[in-house]
Structures are given as C-alpha cells and as structure tokens.
Amino acid sequence: MGYDIAVCIKPVPDPKYYDKIKIHPVKKTIIREGIPTIINPSDKHAIEAALRIKEEFGGKVITITMAPMSSQENIREALAMGADEAYLLSNRMFAGSDTLATSYVLAQGLKKIGKFDFIFTGNESADGATSQVPGQIAEWLNIPHLCNVREFHFTKDKKVEAKIKIEGGYIEYLTTIPVLFSVSREVNKPRYTTIKGVIRARQKPINIFTVRDLELDNKYIGLKGSPTQPGEIYIPSIGRNGEKLKGDPRKIAIQILDRIRSVGVNFGKSK
C-alpha cells in the first residue's frame, strides 16, 4: 500500500538578490557571484504536497534534480524536510539544455528510478520561469498532467479531483493516476526543517546519475539537443530620472494629485 511519489527540484539563485545580477562586459555571461543558491521556492510546496500524501497513505518520496554536483547541499534540505531518497542527474553534457532537453533528461531519470503514482513539481522556476518543464516531463513519460494545481483530493475509486488556477477563475478536473501536478505557492505551507530532520538527512542517500547511467539519445540532450538557442543577453535600461519629494505630507499629497491630473486623468472637481 502507499504511493510512490517523485518530486522534481531545481536549485536556483535566490530571487531576493536578482537586482544584484550583472552581465560580464566582455564574456557576456551572467555574473551571479555572492548570490546564494536555494531550492526553487515553488518546489518546496511540491515537496510538502508529496510528504503529506506519504504521511496520510504511506509510501515513499524521492527527489530528482538535474544540476551541477555543487547542488547537493540544496538536495540535503529536501531530504531534511522528509524526502526518503534523492537522485542527482549531473553531467557536463547536460549544460545548455533548454526546457525540452531538460525535461527529456528528467523523464529518462524518472524512468530509470522506477514507476511513480505521483510526480510533483513547482509550477515555475524563479530564474527562467518558463513553466514548461512540468508538462514536458509528463509528455515524455506519457502520463496526464495539470499545472497550477491549488487543491486536490482522492475519490473513492482511487482517482484524484484537482482544482487548477487560471486567470480570473478555476477549473476542476478528475484524473487517473499516475499523474504529474505542478503546484504553486498557494497549495500549502511547506514545513521547516528540524534539527532531527537535518541529522536524519545525513544518513539518506543522494544517488548520482551521470550520462552513462541513463538511457539517453544524444540528439535530445544538452545544447545540441535544444531546439532553442540563446542569443545576446542584456540588462534593459529602465531607469528614470526621478524627481525627489520630501517634507510636509500635505504639500506632497497636493503635488502628487496635481501630477496625476497633469497626465490627463480626471477625478473629483478641481478647486
């Protein structure tokens, strides 16, 4: 009994520091020195969703990550939250992967590890925020998926009813298992790690798969396997020469209202 659950997690530069990101003037690469790497925020909600199913119905939760070897510290955090085992897919040949190549490698990793009733992911990564990888993993695995899941519960016949958020509303679905859900921050509140959890996490395995451990078709991986190719990157200049106002709040209030009126917005009667 119980469910086999996989959670995809991605280490990302902490979004709190994105204003500090620079571009190397000559190499034209991203400079993110000094910015800590964290588990992608919505992925923590995916971990939480998985742990809650395990706690209620039993089963096993594994995490899977495609990232450089240096991300093991982030993966430990997921183990400390309560995941049972972690898998890290790491190889130089994966560098430069777009969403199609990334989702392919993750899907091949999942196939290698086993069969899952549920796969959870965050609905978007803080850095690229394409929201594409969850649906693409499901496609490669040929299982149904829903993005932006807000609530879900089991029905009597072992199916799942799930509600997704869309612009201006919601849609409710009934789905069979196996299924992949991408979840957003509103779905739950992720637990904090405890000292006990951190200690236990040290005993838990992080299994490392390189390119040789997976069945991969080279034409689908890395930069070469990516249909999209990156071009020039730049930091857009959006600065404005702000006029500074300080002092008496009443005078400021009047000045603000005058400026609003000056761009052709009408409200109230003029004095």
Partner 1 sequence: MDISKATGIWVIGEQHNGILNPVCLELLGKAKELKEQLKFTEPVIAVVLGYNVEEMTEELFKYGADEAIIVDNPILKLFQNELYAAVLEDLIKENRPSIILMGATALSQDLASILGVRLNTGVAAHCVDLYINDENQMVSVVPAFGGKVLGKVLCPKRRPQIATVKPGIFNKHENSSHDKKVIKHNPEESLKGCFARMKALKEFKEEYKGVPLNEADVIIAGGWGIGSKENWYLIEKLSVLLSGAVGSTRPPVDEGWASESQMIGTSGKIVRPKVYIGIGISGATHHICGMKDANLIISINNDPHALIFEVSDICVEGDAKEILTNMLEELKTFNQ
Is residue 19 a contact partner of residue 160, using CB atoms and an 8 Å limit? no
Among 36, 170, 199, 205, binds partner 1 (CB under 8 A): 170
Tokens of 51: 């742990």
19 lies in the site for partner 1, by CB under 8 A: yes
* Interaction of residue 192 with partner 1, rule CB under 8 A: no
- Minimum CB distance to partner 1, residue 99 (Å): 7
Q: Interface mask (CB under 8 A) for partner 1, residues 37-76, using x and -? A: ----------------------------------------
Q: Could you give the CA distance from residue 21 to residue 35 in angstroms, rounded to a whole number?
A: 8
- Phi then psi dihedrals of residue 97, to 5 deg: -70, 135
Q: Please, what is the minimum distance in Å from the beta carbon of residue 123 to partner 1?
A: 9
Task: Tell me how far apart the alpha carbons of residues 48 and 189 are, in angstroms, rounded to a whole number.
Answer: 7
Query: Can residue 229 be called a binding residue for partner 1 (CB under 8 A)?
Result: yes
Q: Strand, helix or coil at 166? A: strand
Nearest CA to 81 among 36, 45, 125, 120?
A: 45
- Identify which range of 19-27, 61-69, 84-92, 206-214 contacts partner 1 by CB under 8 A: 19-27
140 binds partner 1 (CB under 8 A): yes
Q: Which is nearer to partner 1, 68 or 135 (CB)?
A: 135
- Provide the minimum distance between the beta carbon of 93 and partner 1 in the complex, in angstroms, as a whole number: 19
DSSP state of 36: P
Query: Applying CB under 8 A, does 23 fall inside the site for partner 1?
Result: yes
Q: Which residues contact 39 (CB under 8 A, 6 or more apart)?
A: 9, 10, 11, 12, 47, 74, 77, 78
